[in-house]
């Protein structure tokens, strides 16, 4: 059995910055409300007419990750793409990346686990590498939320939170079992599937012909719905549990954590976890203030910035943790 190691990391965000003040001009909200409840000050939203899509943003992040890995694109032998906002209903964006990067005919897998998507994708990559099936896997998390948000006062409880962006890593075979991804931990609880959900188009439950015939402009099932307080309460419990699970599995104590990268759902959630684990400010990385919640992109985007800022160094114990729609949650314990 091998281990797997992140050897390259990249990111991409669209240029267009949307501040809380900007939002207060299009819906009944305020900088004060958003900052106090979520910590978010601004997010990136793709502008009308831009070439940015979930797939193209993922490609840009992937190119940077491959370049930084020192590998050639043709060394990549598998692609995993996590998103809840694919360009097309099917096929998923994994194949678009294969085509855009012109990487032979390697397999491309799409992961649909929302805010936990990147952890799930990383876990799949880790295990494919551990068994020896693949050597270099490209893992991407990318989201274009802004096209699918209700930007009126009706949708303000959700739309102020989400932003667009992408992150990517190259995960590679590591022969030293004390280095790289030490373990990953995945969970779900489907009884809460509708607490954070986009129901439409939901072809499994509705005829497409009916959807088209209804043509109902008040049908808000295409927009995300979230029971915010319920999600918050579950998130703080599950984040803590799944981080502990990872520490216990590797005989580590909370004092051994050098860097915690929590999924950027809400700054208050991250601060709660930080306090619970007694971590100093330099041991937790947050960038939700600048990007909002970018779902499957949030962890690779934060990991990339923390690494670029020199906050992650060789030998560090890095903990990634996520919670989101499903509910799904997970963690990864990494010896960098």
Catalytic positions are 115, 263, 293
Kindly state the tokens that stand for 82.
């996590």
Secondary structure (3-state) at 216? coil
Smallest gap from Cβ 284 to ligand COA, in A, equals 16
**Residue nearest to ligand COA according to CB distances in the complex:** 228
Residues 236, 220: Cα–Cα separation, whole Å: 28
Please write down the HEC assignment for all residues of 215-269. CCCCCHHHCCEECHHHHHHHHHHHHHHHHHHHHHHCCCCHHHCCEEEECCCCHHH
User: Applying CB under 6 A, which part among 9-17, 90-98, 231-239, 307-315 lies near ligand COA?
Assistant: 231-239
Kindly state the tokens that stand for 316.
């560090």
Residues 54, 86: Cα–Cα separation, whole Å: 6
Which residue in 289, 303, 294 sits closest to 324, CA to CA? 294
By beta-carbon proximity to ligand COA, the closer residue of 13 and 265 is 265
The total of other beta-carbon atoms located within 10 Å of residue 93's CB is 27
Among 4, 38, 85, 96, binds ligand COA (CB under 6 A): 38
Smallest gap from Cβ 294 to ligand COA, in A, equals 10
Number of residues located near ligand COA, criterion CB under 6 A: 21
Smallest gap from Cβ 196 to ligand COA, in A, equals 6
By beta-carbon proximity to ligand COA, the closer residue of 69 and 331 is 331
**297 binds ligand COA per the rule CB under 6 A:** no
Residues 242, 111: Cα–Cα separation, whole Å: 20
**293 binds ligand COA per the rule CB under 6 A:** yes
By beta-carbon proximity to ligand COA, the closer residue of 78 and 118 is 118
Which residue in 180, 204, 183, 205 sits closest to 315, CA to CA? 180
**228 binds ligand COA per the rule CB under 6 A:** yes
Q: Which of residues 87-116 bind ligand COA (CB under 6 A)?
A: 115
**41 binds ligand COA per the rule CB under 6 A:** no
**33 binds ligand COA per the rule CB under 6 A:** yes
Q: Which of residues 54-93 bind ligand COA (CB under 6 A)?
A: none
**319 binds ligand COA per the rule CB under 6 A:** no
Which residue in 90, 150, 50, 118 sits closest to 262, CA to CA? 118
Please list the alpha-helical segments (H only) found in the chain: 20-24, 31-38, 54-69, 94-100, 117-130, 156-159, 208-214, 228-249, 267-276, 288-291, 298-308
Contact 324, 242 (CB under 8 A): no
Smallest gap from Cβ 176 to ligand COA, in A, equals 34
Smallest gap from Cβ 184 to ligand COA, in A, equals 18
Smallest gap from Cβ 332 to ligand COA, in A, equals 17
Q: Which of residues 156-215 bind ligand COA (CB under 6 A)?
A: 156-157, 160
Mask for 253-282, x = binds ligand COA (CB under 6 A): ------------xx--x-------------
By beta-carbon proximity to ligand COA, the closer residue of 34 and 101 is 34
CA–CA–CA angle 249, 253, 255 (5° rounding) = 145
Residues in a beta bridge with 334 = 181, 318
Residues making contact with ligand COA (CB under 6 A): 29, 33-34, 37-38, 115, 156-157, 160, 226, 228-229, 231-232, 235, 265-266, 269, 293, 323-324
């Amino acid at each position: 059995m091998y281990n797997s190691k992140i050897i390259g990391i990249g990111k991409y965000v669209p240029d267009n910055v949307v501040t809380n003040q900007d939002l207060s001009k299009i819906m009944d909200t305020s900088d004060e409300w958003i900052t106090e409840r979520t910590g978010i000050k601004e997010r990136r939203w793709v502008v009308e007419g831009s070439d940015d899509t979930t797939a193209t943003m993922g490609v840009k992040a992937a190119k940077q990750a491959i370049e930084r890995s020192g590998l050639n694109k043709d060394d990549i032998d598998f692609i995993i793409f996590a998103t809840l906002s694919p360009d097309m209903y099917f096929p998923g964006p994994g194949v678009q990346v294969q085509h855009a990067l012109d990487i032979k005919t390697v397999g491309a897998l799409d992961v649909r686990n929302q805010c936990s998507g990147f952890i799930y994708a990383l876990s799949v990559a880790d295990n494919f590498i551990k068994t020896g099936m693949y050597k270099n896997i490209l893992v991407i998390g990318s989201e274009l939320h802004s096209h699918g948000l209700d930007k009126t006062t009706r949708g303000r409880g959700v739309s102020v939170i989400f932003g667009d962006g992408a992150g990517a890593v190259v995960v590679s075979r590591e022969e030293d079992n004390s280095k790289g991804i030490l373990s990953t931990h995945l969970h779900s609880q489907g009884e809460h599937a509708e607490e954070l959900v986009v129901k439409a188009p939901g072809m499994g439950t509705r005829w497409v012909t009916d959807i088209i015939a209804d043509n109902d402009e008040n049908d808000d099932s295409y927009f995300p719905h979230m029971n915010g307080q319920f999600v918050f309460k579950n998130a703080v419990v599950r984040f803590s549990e799944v981080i502990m699970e990872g520490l216990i599995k590797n005989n580590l104590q909370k004092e051994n954590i050098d860097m915690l990268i929590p999924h950027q759902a809400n700054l208050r959630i991250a601060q709660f976890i930080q306090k619970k684990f007694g971590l100093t400010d330099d041991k937790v990385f947050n960038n939700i203030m600048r990007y909002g919640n970018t779902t499957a992109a949030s962890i690779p985007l934060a990991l990339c910035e923390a690494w670029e800022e020199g906050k992650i160094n060789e030998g560090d114990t890095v903990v990634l943790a996520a919670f989101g729609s499903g509910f799904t949650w997970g963690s990864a314990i990494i010896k960098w």
